[in-house]
Amino acid sequence: MKRFGLISVPYLWLLALFLVPFLIVLKISLSDTALAIPPYTPTLDLSQGWAGFTAWLSGLDMENFTWLTTDDLYWKAYLSSLKIATFSTILALLVGFPIAYGMSRAPDEWRPTLMMLIILPFWTSFLIRVYAWKAILSQEGLLNQLLMSLGIISEPLTILNTNTAVYIGIVYTYLPFMVLPIYSALERLDESLLEAAEDLGCSRLTAFWLVTLPLAKQGIIAGSFLVFIPAMGEFVIPSLLGGSKTLMIGKVLWEEFFSNRDWPVASAVAVVLLLILIVPIVLFQRNEEKQREAGK
């Protein structure tokens, strides 16, 4: 009984904070929009008993999901999000791996400081940091001023309100999620493994390919998912740094919800997004499990 109680805590947690909200969203996605509070029908009226329940059930339909397929805005937004999330993940990996590698090779007394530098930005509001990028990337921004004063460019670059700015924003924001798992994998790597590889005839470079990289694999996979999954649904960065042409599903969702006040369609968008993300989430979980097993 005691054991059951202990196990039930995380399950109750998941039930209350994940499954229940999801079911609410799913229900709304099957409803119709209405000029009411809440802005959709039907609503469950339990005062009429069973008849009320059947009336509520018959009022639900898949109309909103069909709607998503008729307007090409939605699937274009999904595809564009997929593309942006994928490229951001690759960029974050290219930037994050050398950082993690450098940290793991740094002298012991330096490591806490380096770790602090990676985590420190989290202590400031995410919104403020994204706004700061606006100040850096704008036409008269710090970056353009710097490049022009150095004589590298004569005309200011247009970065803000383009996809480039979105990439910069996503890579910047999610970099720690890439760096930390890779660092933790590399930090555990025993230096003598590389010496053994060299001893057996590897050059430094082949030792990196044959030993360091395979042993960092789990960290790389974990980091990539931790960047890809939230980047896929990202809304703040594209709406603040991206231009009108930047199409991301998170932005579409926000507009459906707050500009159009079409809660059912917005919910349908969210449900589809979740279905798309379930694949990488399951893969991520499996990777974690594998890692735990290998660590035994």
Partner 1 sequence: MSEAALATAPAEFAPWKDSQATPLIRFQNVTKRFGDFTAIDNLTIDIYEREFFALLGPSGCGKTTMMRMLGGFETQTEGTILIDGQDVGPIPPNKRAVNMMFQSYALFPHLSVAENIAFGLKRDKLPKDQIAARVDEMLNLVQLGKFANRKPHQISGGQRQRVALARSLAKAPKLLLLDEPLGALDKKLRQDTQFELMDIQEQTGTTFVIVTHDQEEAMTVASRIAVMDHGKIIQVDTPAKIYEEPGSVYVADFIGDVNLIEGSVTTSGDDHATISWAEGQQNLIGIAHDEIPAGTRATLAIRPEKVNIATERPAEMTNIIHGKVLDIAYLGNMSTYVIETPTGQHIKAQAANTRRIARRAITWDQDVWLSFTDTAGVVLTS
- Enumerate binding residues for partner 1 (CB under 8 A): 190, 192-193, 195-203, 206, 210-211, 214-215, 217, 294, 296
CB of 294 to partner 1, least distance (A): 7
- Minimum CB distance to partner 1, residue 290 (Å): 12
Is 255 or 288 the residue whose CB approaches partner 1 more closely? 288
How would you write 187-200 as a 3-class SS string? HCCCHHHHHHHHHC
We find the least distance from the C-beta atom of residue 211 to partner 1, in angstroms, to be: 6
| Minimum distance of partner 1 from residue 92's CB (angstroms) | 24
- Half-sphere exposure (CA, 13 Å, Cβ side) for 270? 22
Assigned token pair, 14: 């998941």
CA distance 281 to 221: 11
Residue nearer to partner 1 on the CB measure, 37 or 200: 200
- Looking at the Cβ atoms of 91 and 207, the one nearer to partner 1 is 207
Residue 41's DSSP bridge partners are: 32
Name which of 161 and 212 has its Cβ closer to partner 1: 212
Which CB atom, from 83 or from 188, has the smaller least distance to partner 1?
A: 188
| Cβ pair 119, 177 in contact under 8 A | no
CB of 43 to partner 1, least distance (A): 56
